[in-house]
Amino acid sequence: MNRQLLLQVCNAPGTSGFENAAQEVAAETLAGCCDEVRRDALGNVIGFRKAGARARRGKTPLRVMLAAHADEVGMMVKHINAKGLLHFIPLGGLSPAVAQSQRVIIHGREPVRGAIVPKINGEDVKPPALGDLLIDTGLPKEEIEKLVQPGDSITFENDVSLLNGKMWVGRNFDDRIGLYCLLEAMRTVGRTAADVYAVSTVQEEVGLRGARPAAFGVAPDIGIAIDGSMARGAYVDDHQNLCEPGRGTGIYVIDNLTIGHPGLVRYLCEMCEKHGIPYQRNIGGGTDASAIQQSRAGVIATTVGAPVRYMHSTVQLCHADDMDATVALLVKFMETAHEFMAKLPKR
């Protein structure tokens, strides 16, 4: 794995709608390995790699779109109260049980550290509503008002680190692990017979808002989203989450928003077997694949990605071997997508 890139990708702050720092990492990395990189009106970063000349002769190359989302679950300042404490709203699916007692960074005129202070009532263990929680920066009202205003974005402070062995921990592995795998695959893949569009999308966590226009603009024949697969961990039974960390990348058969194209799912599994890439079948939550699949007149699509434990928490876990397997699968897919398409039965 590429530690330096992983750290760069995961430590850039970027809640939904405020992905700029993460998108700069994506754009810079793609600039080193793509023929063209552009940003659309929503902020999606689109890296384009032209098909190799050999395959282009005589016909239009296949268009492959690979998409990972750059946004992470976070918050936004709503109101500064009389004591200088901040009310906030969530950006993406955030539980108060996760938010309470976490350290945060408010991206104001300059970054300001703060803590979401617990609202504990005696022995009461039931978490309060998000709207009742407050951020304490330790600064007096007059001072905080000079630095912060309603509408500023807030991220959790937890940077990425190696937990133990090959298991990493971070606040935003959904979906920065996906973005890391996409960028690393683009860096390592050779010339392909397909035109490849690597897209770092925005605003996935608030309803796939970036992938929709990105897919419309790219107009792909095949789309693959890269996102976390549902990993087994504490508090979940084996039948709830199918993927075991350390045992390979997840290939989505279905999630709440997409039924993966059966031919594509089969092809991805067969390719993993052929090339000795460890993989697991996944039943997932919902990803950018849905927006890609339903774009224009419909697109062949599914999702792949390393299993991530405790998504939408500040302590998400992911195994390095699964990141490597995801990168290997993406590279092999880019190299052979034209073969898959040529053999695709009409249906």
Q: Nearest approach, Cβ of 73 to Zn ion (angstroms)?
A: 9
- Of the pair 68, 327, the CB lying nearest Zn ion is at 68
Nearer to Zn ion, 195 or 227 (CB): 227
Does residue 288 interact with Zn ion by CB under 5 A? no
Of 204, 244, 335, 339, which residue is the catalytic one?
A: 204
Q: Token match 């017979």: residue?
A: 193
Shortest separation between residue 299's beta carbon and Zn ion, angstroms: 19
In 3D, which of 122, 342, 305, 316 has the Cα closest to residue 228? 305
Name the one range near Zn ion by CB under 5 A: 26-34, 132-140, 168-176, 318-326: 168-176
Which member of 174, 195, 321, 324 binds Zn ion (CB under 5 A)? 174
222-251: which residues touch Zn ion (CB under 5 A)? 227
Can you tell me whether residue 82 is helix, strand or coil? Answer: coil
**Residue 94: which of 209, 15, 23 has the closest Cα?**
15
Query: Residue 324, interface with Zn ion (CB under 5 A)?
Result: no
Count of CA atoms in the C-beta half-sphere (13 A) of 232: 13
Candidates 175, 221, 321, 322; binder of Zn ion (CB under 5 A) is 175
Q: Does residue 71 belong to the site contacting Zn ion (CB under 5 A)?
A: no
**Smaller CB separation from Zn ion, 175 or 324:** 175
Nearest residue relative to Zn ion (C-beta)? 175
* Alpha-carbon 299 to chain mean position: 20
C-alpha span between 299 and 266 (Å, rounded): 16
What's the helix, strand, coil split of the chain in %, to 5?
A: 30, 30, 40
Q: Is 72 a catalytic residue?
A: no
Binding of Zn ion at residue 184 (CB under 5 A)? Answer: no
Binding segment for Zn ion (CB under 5 A), chosen from 101-109, 166-174, 290-298, 333-341, is 166-174
**CB–CB of 169/177 below 8 Å?**
no
Residues 6+ apart with CB under 8 A from 243: 229, 230, 231, 232, 250, 280, 282, 307
The residues of the shown chain that bind Zn ion, judged by CB under 5 A, are: 174-175, 227
Active site residues: 204
